[in-house]
Structure 1
Amino acid sequence: MNNAIHETLELHELLMFKNLCLTKSSTMTGLVQDQELRDILERDASQTKHQIEHLQGLLSVRGENI
């Protein structure tokens, strides 16, 4: 099943946004002193990695280049 061009572009936009979120969470994890906040950031990074994999899967199933 092929996406319309606007759907593919939206998936790419979401993928770029989630990559930025992962970069920010990973960077901030190394800077924070509070253990509770560090745990939250680590969980966020883990969830974001799974979301990125899911978005990549959606694009590859449809034959789009990532």
Structure 2
Amino acid sequence: MIIDYIDQIIMFCAGVWVTAVGFGYLPLPGKAAAQPPWVTVAAGHFKWMGPLLLVIAVALAIAR
């Protein structure tokens, strides 16, 4: 039963993490001063990518 939904569970957990990083609840891994500028720009897109991952994970779980 749980094995059937492992892909959706992993995608859901990744969506929660990406959303939390995007909205500033969790810091990006690593030292902030040592990160190249593109990492900060990419993390700004996490605000929409995280919720999108959550919606896709739920939709795939329902479709099964």
Indicate the TM-score class for this superposition, using the shorter chain for normalisation. Answer: 0.3 to 0.5
Greater C-alpha radius of gyration? 1
> Greater RCO between the two (CA within 8 Å, min separation 6)?
2
TM-score, reference length from structure 2: 0.48
TM-score, reference length from structure 1: 0.47
